[in-house]
């Protein structure tokens, strides 16, 4: 029986109360010792942005709106209650010397590595997209091999310009550090300038809009095969009509319906970690963007539950 993390351990089906952890997950500040399948961490960091800041409020926005999703025992269209088959905990937000990008990266890598070593899968809320680089370092260090990247975004983030701490350069540095294999990686939704010679398999925005969901999933599968896959979702993969609350919106993106259908068909992949980044609530008056991110995050956990074999057939 589910032990509700509320006053009196009562079930709360409201849409507004007790939203301290994602989908009312228990806040857990000793996550390395507590048994769990998935550990959620917020990273309120936006010092690597090239445009509008505000993603430091992303974790707060995603958690707050998650009550809109928690009331369903079996989240549509899944046929089982996630909390009945896996345990997920919320670590709260990463603590680091605010204003120190290097210290943040080191703290996030160390924290993530400890979670992985304790047998958990990590789901991380940004923050800007730079956080994915220390996350990849931790996963690579834990696995001891290159990883396939499944990257949803409007931007390739493979740019060589800028400093080492820049939310547009992570996937320029990651291959050079030996963390990921571009030739076994896929980028979906790109609709800004990118360099094909870098080796990434790009399903650009216009093509992604024209292809069917099945065709996109097939291309992803053919590329990553049975490799360990890290899934990074920049919310600006979505068209600004569906995700206005982000720092660098680009027209011509995907719909929430299409990306959710893609994600829900990824249960066969060996996905070892997830993040959703670049949610900037100050630019969204109605929490549309936070809701999209929270819905994706919840579906990530359903995908994990099915792939792990813990979900009922």
- Asked if residues 93 and 29 have their Cβ atoms less than 8 Å apart, the reply is no
Asked if residue 281 has pLDDT above 80, the reply is yes
Tokens 């970690």, located at residue: 273
* pLDDT of amino acid 166: 74
* DSSP assigned state of 290: H
pLDDT band at 8 (very low <50, low <70, confident <90, very high): confident
**pLDDT tens, position by position, 229-278:** 999 999 999 999 999 999 999 999 999 999 999 999 999 999 999 999 99
Least confident window among 25-39, 154-168, 190-204, 212-226: 154-168
pLDDT band at 180 (very low <50, low <70, confident <90, very high): very high
The total number of structural domains that make up the chain:
1
* pLDDT of amino acid 156: 94
On whether residue 57 sits in a domain, the answer given is yes
On whether residue 90 sits in a domain, the answer given is yes
On whether residue 313 sits in a domain, the answer given is no
On whether residue 113 sits in a domain, the answer given is yes
Asked if residue 207 has pLDDT above 80, the reply is yes
On whether residue 1 sits in a domain, the answer given is no
Domain limits for position 176: 7-307
On whether residue 2 sits in a domain, the answer given is no
Count CB atoms within 10 A of the CB of residue 20: 15
Strands in the chain per DSSP E: 38-43, 88-93, 121-126, 148-152, 186-188, 201-203, 229-234, 271-277
User: In CATH, what number is assigned to the domain containing residue 168?
Assistant: 3.40.800.10
Asked if residue 6 has pLDDT above 90, the reply is no
* pLDDT of amino acid 98: 87
**pLDDT tens, position by position, 48-83:** 788 888 899 999 999 999 999 998 889 999 999 999
């Amino acid at each position: 029986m589910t032990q509700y993390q509320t006053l009196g351990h009562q079930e709360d089906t409201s849409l507004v109360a007790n939203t301290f952890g994602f989908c009312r997950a228990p806040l857990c500040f000793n996550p390395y010792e507590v048994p769990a399948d998935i550990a959620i961490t917020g990273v309120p960091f936006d010092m690597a942005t090239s445009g509008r800041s505000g993603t430091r409020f992303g974790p707060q926005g995603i958690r707050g709106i998650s009550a809109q999703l928690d009331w369903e025992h079996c989240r549509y269209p899944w046929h089982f209650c996630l909390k009945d088959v896996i345990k997920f905990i919320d670590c709260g937000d990463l603590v680091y010397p605010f204003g120190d990008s290097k210290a943040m990266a080191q703290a996030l890598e160390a924290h993530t590595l400890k979670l992985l070593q304790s047998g958990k899968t990590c789901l991380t809320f940004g923050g800007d997209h730079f956080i994915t680089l220390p996350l990849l370092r931790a996963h690579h260090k834990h696995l001891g091999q290159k990883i396939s990247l499944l990257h949803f975004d409007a931007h390739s983030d493979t740019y060589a310009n800028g400093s080492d701490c820049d939310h547009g350069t992570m996937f320029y540095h990651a291959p050079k550090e030996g963390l990921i294999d571009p030739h076994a990686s896929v980028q979906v939704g790109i609709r800004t300038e990118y360099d094909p010679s870098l080796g990434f398999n790009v399903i650009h925005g216009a093509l992604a809009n024209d292809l069917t969901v099945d065709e996109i999933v097939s291309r992803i599968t053919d590329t990553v095969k049975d490799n360990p896959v890290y899934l990074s979702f920049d919310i600006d993969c979505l068209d600004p009509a569906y995700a206005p609350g982000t720092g660098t919106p680009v027209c011509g993106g995907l719909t929430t319906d299409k990306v959710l259908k893609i994600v829900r068909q990824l249960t066969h992949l060996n996905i070892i970690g997830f993040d959703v980044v670049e949610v900037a609530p100050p630019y969204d008056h109605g929490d549309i963007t936070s809701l999209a991110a929270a819905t994706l995050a919840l579906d990530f956990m359903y995908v994990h539950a099915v792939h792990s074999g813990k979900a009922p057939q």
